[in-house]
């Protein structure tokens, strides 16, 4: 220990930090740490888990050879599209009971969830479905058929194709 003449303290013996300064520095470092970790946490937040829903309106090419009364179900869509002598029409395949996707069959449609059955026009044959399957808006332009799953039309509405 080196003793400086005239001073009873050593140069290597630091002055004790006043309590007020120590508390101030501690508060400063705590605040800085909290801000830093807050910013890092905000940067690590997951990106929004929102996936853009596909458009409810879509276009398909209806095959010329589609037999009357036979459903064409576009992949990934809950719609059955038909062509008969009166025109083109689309019926939603979302069950009016609890929203399962119904399957077209020889009679019309059958719901795999609770057994509702619908006729070929979507009318209820057997519940628990409370209502008929809705018909959807269809526009025909040449061989293309534009279907809007978001717009219903009165059941029985068929659009003449060219
Ligand atoms: S969801 Fe179709 S019968 Fe229940």
How close is the Cα of 112 to the center of ligand 1, in Å?
A: 7
Query: Total structural domains in the chain?
Result: 1
Task: Determine the pLDDT at residue 46.
Answer: 72
Q: Which residues in the chain come in under a pLDDT of 50?
A: 1
Q: Tens digits of per-residue pLDDT, 95-118?
A: 998 888 899 888 888 998 898 999
Which residue's CA is the closest to the ligand 1 atom numbered 3?
A: 114
Nearest-atom index, ligand 1, CA of 102: 2
Q: Would you say residue 74 lies in a domain?
A: yes
Q: What is the pLDDT of residue 4?
A: 53
Whether residue 142 lies inside any domain: the answer is yes
pLDDT computed for residue 70 by the predictor: 79
The pLDDT assigned to 1 comes to: 47
Check residue 27 and give its pLDDT: 94
Residue 30 lies in a domain: no
- Give domain status of residue 45, yes or no: no
pTM above 0.75, yes or no: no
- Domain membership flag for residue 128: yes
The residues near 39 (Cβ < 8 Å, ≥ 6 apart) are none
pLDDT of residue 162: 62
Q: What is the CATH number of the domain that holds 116?
A: 2.102.10.10
Question: What length does the chain have?
Answer: 162
For residue 126, tell me if it sits in a domain. Answer: yes
**Residue 80 belongs to a domain:** yes
Residue range(s) defining the domain that contains residue 61: 57-153
Distance (Å) from CA 55 to ligand 1 centroid:
25
Question: Per residue in 92-113, is it b (16+ CB within 10 Å) or e — as a string?
Answer: bbbbbbeebebebeeebbbbee
Q: What are the pLDDT digits (tens) for 25-46? A: 999 999 999 999 999 888 887 7
pLDDT at 34: 95
Around ligand 1, the residues with Cβ closer than 6 Å are 95, 97-98, 100, 111, 113-114, 116, 128-129
Specify the pLDDT at position 21. Answer: 87
């Amino acid at each position: 220990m080196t003793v400086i003449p005239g001073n009873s303290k050593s140069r290597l013996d630091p002055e004790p930090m006043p309590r007020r300064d120590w508390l101030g520095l501690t508060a400063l470092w705590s605040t800085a740490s909290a801000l830093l970790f807050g910013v890092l946490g905000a940067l690590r937040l997951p990106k929004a888990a929102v996936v853009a829903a596909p458009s409810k309106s879509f276009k398909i090419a209806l095959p010329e050879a589609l037999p009357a009364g036979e459903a064409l179900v576009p992949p990934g869509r809950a719609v059955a599209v038909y062509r008969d002598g009166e025109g083109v029409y689309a019926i939603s395949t979302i069950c009016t009971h609890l929203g399962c996707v119904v399957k077209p069959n020889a009679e019309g449609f059958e719901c795999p969830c609770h057994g509702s059955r619908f006729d070929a026009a979507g009318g209820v044959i057997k519940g628990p479905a409370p209502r008929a399957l809705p018909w959807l808006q269809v526009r025909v332009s040449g061989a293309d058929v534009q279907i809007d799953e978001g717009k219903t039309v009165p059941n029985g509405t068929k659009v003449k194709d060219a």
